[in-house]
Amino acid sequence: MLPRHVERHFLGRDIVRDVVLGMSDGLTVPFALAAGLAGAAASSRVVLTAGLSEITAGAIAMGLGGYLAARTDAEHYESELRRERREVAVVPELEQKEVEEVFTGYGLLPCDVAPLVAALRQRPDAWVDFMMRFELGLERPNPARGWRSAITIALSYIAGGMVPLSPYMVFARSGAALPLSVVTAIVALFGFGWVKGRFTGAARLRSAAQTAVIGALAAAAAFGLAKVVA
Instruction: Return the residues of window 52-91 that contact a second copy according to CB under 8 A.
Output: 52-54, 56-58, 60-62, 64-65, 68, 72, 75-76, 80, 83
CB of 176 to a second copy, least distance (A): 19
**Of 15, 16, 46, 176, the one binding a second copy by CB under 8 A:** 46
Is 104 among the residues that bind a second copy (CB under 8 A)? no
Distance CA 204, CA 196 (A): 8
Which 146-205 positions form the footprint of a second copy (CB under 8 A)?
Answer: 200-202
Distance CA 3, CA 86 (A): 37
Is 120 among the residues that bind a second copy (CB under 8 A)? yes
Is 141 among the residues that bind a second copy (CB under 8 A)? no
Distance CA 161, CA 106 (A): 48
Torsion angle, alpha carbons of 63, 26, 164, 50, to 10: -60
**Of 15, 45, 175, 205, the one binding a second copy by CB under 8 A:** 45
CB of 97 to a second copy, least distance (A): 10
Task: For residue 76, give the amino acid letter.
Answer: H
Residue 119 or 144 having the CB closest to a second copy: 119
Which residues are within 8 A (CB) of 200 and not within 5 positions of it... i.e. 6 or more apart? 16, 20, 207
What is the contact mask toward a second copy in residues 15 to 44, using x (rule: CB under 8 A)? ---------xx--xx-xxx-xxx--x-x--
Residues contacting a second copy: total by CB under 8 A: 79
Torsion angle, alpha carbons of 223, 225, 228, 230, to 10: -70
CB of 87 to a second copy, least distance (A): 8
**Of 13, 78, 109, 170, the one binding a second copy by CB under 8 A:** 109
Residue 220, judged by CB atoms within 10 A of its CB (0-12, 13-18, 19+), counts as middle
Categorise residue 176: left if φ over 0, alpha if ψ from -120 to 50, beta otherwise.
alpha
